[in-house]
Structure formats: C-alpha cells, structure tokens
Amino acid sequence: MLSRRLAKVPERIMATGWTPSVAGPLLLCLLLPLPSGAARAADAAPGPLRPVSGPSPFTGCAADGVSSQPGQVYMGSEVEPWITVNPANPLNMVAAWQQDRWSNGGARGLVVGVTLDGGETWEPVVVPGLTPCSGGNLLRASDPWASFGPTGELFHSALALTQNAAAPNAILVSRSSDGGLTWFPPKQVIFNSWPRFNDKEAITADPTDPRFAYVAWDRLDFAASRGPAMVSRTDDGGLSWETAQAIHDPGRNNQTLGAQVLVRPDGTVYTFFAEILSTGTRFLSFKTSADKGATWQPALGARRTVFLRPAQARDPQLGVAVRDAANLFDVAVDPRDGALYAVWQDGSPNGFQYPEILYTRSVDGGQTWSGPRAVNATPRNVLPPLKQAFLPSVHVSDNGTVGISYYDFRNDGAEPDALADHWFAWCHPRAVDCTRSDRWQEIRLTDASFDYLLAPFARGLFLGDYVGLAADGADFVALFTQTHDMDASSVFFRRVRMVPRAEPEGLGFWKHQARVAAGGPGRAQEDAARLIRYLVDAQALHDVFDDLLSVEQIAATLDPPRPAGPRARARAHLLALVFNLASGRLDPFIPAGAGADAAGVAEDVATVLEDAGASRADLLAAAALAEAVNEGAAR
C-alpha cells in the first residue's frame, strides 16, 4: 500500500489543477528552496579517506611484452573500481580494479584489495590466470566486477582480450572461498574471436540462494551488425557455468550495452541493459526470470523503462573529453521490499549543455517507473562547464536508504587544471518523497579536489566506466578513483555512516509549531514553509492527509475540536509521526526506542484510518501506537 502511494506523488499533487489562489501557501512553499537541514531522516558522517591500491604488482613483469604492444600503458595506474561486502562477515570487503591501464583498451591485469577490518586496512591480491603477468594467456584484462553470495562465496568476473576487438576475447569467472585472499583458477564462460566481441560483463551472486550466480554482458557481432544481451549462470556455486544464452537481441544495426543482474528478495532475477537503436534512441530495458535464469520474460522483446539521453562530460578548461558513463547506467534493489532503482547521466533536462545525474524508481517490480529526476546537488549558479555531473553509482542499504555517488567539476577554478570531486547523495524513500530533487542531501567524499587532466587517456580522460558503491548494514561504503600528486589514478575507500539527527517530538510539540505558523503567539522551531514541506511528504506517504491544504488545517488536525473522537485522535498522532519522519526526528529504518519501526507504524495507523469499518478499539490502539513511537517508547 505504501509503495503504491509513493509512486503517484508528486505527479498526483500537481495533477489536481491547483493554482496559487486555491492552494494558498502550499504551492508557494513548494516553490521555495528547502530550508537547510529539513527533510532529512539522518545525517551522513563520512569516515576517514583510506587508500586501497598501492604500487603495481606487475612492475618487472616482462611476460606480456609491453614494448611490442600498440598503445601507451599507464604504469602504476588503477582505474574502474568495484566493491562488494561479505554478508556472512561484513568486516570482509573486496575491492576490484584494473591495474596499469592501456590507452587503447584493457589493462595488464586485474587486482583486488581485501579488507578484514571493515575497510581500515587493505591487502592487494592479484587475480590469477587472467593475463600473462598473472599466469593467463590473453594479453589484457578489463571490466572487473565482484559479488559475494549469501554464505560468503566470492565471485569475480573479467573480460580477457588482446589489444583490439578483432582478436580473441573471453569472459572469465574466478571464485574465492576465503574472502578474496586466494582464488581458484578461472572458469571460461565464453570465448570468441572476430567477428564477435564480448564486452562489459557484470557478475551477481544470488542473495536468496547460494547455488546460483549470474554473469551478464553484451556480445557485439560485427558481421551480423547486432549486439544481443548475454547471460550465463551457475547452479552449483561456481563449479561450472552453463552455456551462454542470448536473452535479448534488439535486431540488426542495434545493440545492447552494460548488462547487469539484480535479484529481488522474492527471488525474481532481473537483467537490465541499455538498448541502443540505429535511430539514435536509447532505452533502459530489462527482462525477468522466475526460474533462476533458465528462461526469461517477455519471450519476445524487452520491457523498456525510461529513455536514456546521454551527454558526455568534458574538461571544463580545455574541453578534453572525459571517458565516463555517458552510454551506461547503474541499478540497485532494496533488499527489504524489492523496490528497483536506476541512475544514469543525461543531458535532456538542460538542452544537452552538460550531463546531470537522473534517477528513477519502481515499487511494483518494474511495471511502472517514476519520472526521471536530477538528484545531483551541483550548484545551479555556476557556469555550465562546472555543472557537469557524471559517472553515477547507486546502491540501497540494508535499511532501505538510497545512496548515489558521482563526480562533478563545481570546484574548478581558472587554472589550466580540471579540478573534480567525488560526491555522495542520499534519500529515505519511506520518510520523504525521493522523486523530488530537493529531498536529496549530499556530502563530499574527496578530501580535496583533484586534477582530472592527470588521468589516463583512453578515448577520453579515464578513471573508469563505473565506480563502486555498496552497503554495510545501514552504512554505505564508497570505492572510487582519483588522481593525486602526479599519480595518474589510485583507488580510495570511504565509509559513510548514516546517523539519526534528533529525538522524536510528541503531539504537543507539533501542535505548538502549527499554532505559531498559523499566526498564533509564541516562538517555534519549525516555520510555516517547513510544515508545508512536511505535509507534502505526509501526503506522499498517506492518502488520509489529502484534504489538508494549509497551515491552518494542519493545526486543526493536530489539535482537533473537543470532544475529539478516536479517529481524530489517531489522525493527529499519525500526522505528528509522519512530521517526525519527514523532519528527521525519527529514522524510518532504525528502531525507535525498544524496537518500533517508525515507517511500519505509520503504515499500520494509516491502514486503520482508511478502513471505514475500523472499530473504536482499533482506532484507539492506532492512536496509542503512533503516540508511543513519537515519544520514543517501545512498540
């Protein structure tokens, strides 16, 4: 019920045909900037910035004949990081990256960083059997991706290739049973040579069944002029991999790109991919499997979600192209309720002057999606080159908080360098309406701006086609690359703790706020604009407040005329509860007091209020439940 309500706001509010003369202060406040500190369910507290990568382990390796290969190798560079957290032991995380990047594709090998203390210290481990410098056969490796299964089994996928798409290439999957410290020899999932080239693979261990894992990618067939989305799976914990199947072929002169697999809590498997059509149209599309990847639906075609209208970032000083995620995306799933999220960089909101980070959400398994909204907090009062936001990642923490990371150039000055930073934005969809751009909060993850012009050049300044973002319980863990000193690129880790902001307030507090906001005597901590903001979020969460349009009506609801019936009392306590949620005084995901889930209580009370046949006893119990959570008591 709650998910259905969220899907129709704010479109439902604006579709009513309200005008300022009718809605009065509500629409006025909708147009005001969000007051500082408002609508947060928690603050983000960044931990120390930790270096993850170190000196190249391939220094001194001659097995790959660097001098005889075409292109330039950036010795000591680390790019394209990914991170995964062990659900069986969250102190164990594994970071993966390309080591010693080439200008014309791939790297000399792939390396993982292993931590056993929650990210405080990291040990580098070369993934064996991929390239000559790690005991493999093909000259280069790319696209590192890693995923822990529910019992701690670790999978790592890689693209192994030579120096160009016309030569042999393979998708390889490696497995570790000790958290990434040692690895079994890789399994070859597919091998091709001209005219077929495999690209952009990603691996996902099934969180609902340790037997299953899935690797997905796109395969370009240059002779047939098509690029289907491919999937292979294991049903024995990685001991063997099934023959790859093309789950979607978009047709001649069309291709897919960037396939990723997600698994919802109910076990349904999703494969997302970008569809790039010869007409220039791009979609974020997906197919689903109810039988662990044996078959995929729809049988013909794919389900399309949103248009992708990419814009590429450029160095704001010299206009040098940035190799970013302009044709890619990232997706995530809420481990609690299965809500699906996608982010990508897009130029359509501003006439393609610069890329922004757009976000969409589905609460019904992908049947419908919210309208795309920009979520990056890049300032609007700077020149267009400084507004560029790019390379987004998205993840959902164990408690349902949505986090998004990205880069931008907002701090660049007039010098010839291109100063960039990495950022983290977050929102709580069960506390506020995250389809509204102003509901997102942001912190910087880099300690200081870095010069993007020092990055390796591979068809553009290249830190990777993606960066890593994962969750450790309620915390987020970010893995990203940046230049530093004269180093072309290194990998860094930062933990982001989500900290509740304040204690909840009772009904009396909110009565006083509304009375003062409506013109009554006294002083208040919350002004009229904030109360209306909170009301909009309350309406997004619960239909029972659809009739409220003004501060005066808020005050009357919080302090109903005497004698107040049980329905009015329950409604007052529920409105106070959702105000506590929207203002950040209650975290909807962290138990309040001795264990009450605030968002769950709010939904319970709203359900009773919407039931026309609710008994007096039910209404009184609902009021008492909401009141107990507001006061921080046990459920």
Q: What is the pLDDT of residues 565-604, one digit of tens each?
A: 889 998 999 999 888 888 878 766 554 444 557 777 888 8
- pLDDT mean across residues, the chain: 88
Looking at the predicted structure, is the pLDDT value of residue 633 above 80?
no
pLDDT band at 30 (very low <50, low <70, confident <90, very high): very low
Rounded average pLDDT over 89-111: 97
Residue 218 and residue 229 in contact, taking contact as beta carbons nearer than 8 Å: yes
What pLDDT is stored for residue 223 in this prediction?
94
What pLDDT is stored for residue 244 in this prediction?
97
Estimate the crossing angle of helix 551-558 against helix 528-541, to 10 degrees: 70
Looking at the predicted structure, is the pLDDT value of residue 146 above 90?
yes
What pLDDT is stored for residue 399 in this prediction?
82
Q: How far apart are CA 324 and CA 334, in angstroms?
A: 26
Q: Which residue type sits at 559? A: D
Please list the residues that pair with 462 across neighbouring strands.
323
Tokens of 337: 């309720």
Rounded average pLDDT over 52-67: 96
Q: Which residue type sits at 72? A: Q
What pLDDT is stored for residue 428 in this prediction?
86
Looking at the predicted structure, is the pLDDT value of residue 453 above 70?
yes
Rounded average pLDDT over 270-297: 97
SS (H, E, C) 396-452: ECCCCCEEEEEEECCCCCCCCCCEEEEEEEEECCCCCCCCCHHHCEEEECCCCCEEH
How many helices (H) and strands (E) the chain has is answered by: 10, 33
End-to-end CA distance of the chain: 21
Poorest-confidence range of 261-270, 323-332, 446-455, 616-625? 616-625
Q: Is 614 helix (H, G, I), strand (E, B) or coil?
A: coil
Q: How far apart are CA 270 and CA 286, in angstroms?
A: 7
Looking at the predicted structure, is the pLDDT value of residue 538 above 90?
no
Tokens of 130: 């991929």
Q: How far apart are CA 262 and CA 99, in angstroms?
A: 27
Q: What percent of the chain has pLDDT over 70?
A: 90
Q: What percent of the chain has pLDDT over 90?
A: 69
Give which of 325, 223, 327 is closest to 280, Cα–Cα. Answer: 327
**Between 393 and 631, whose confidence is greater?**
393
pLDDT tens column, 377-403: 999 899 999 999 999 999 999 888 999
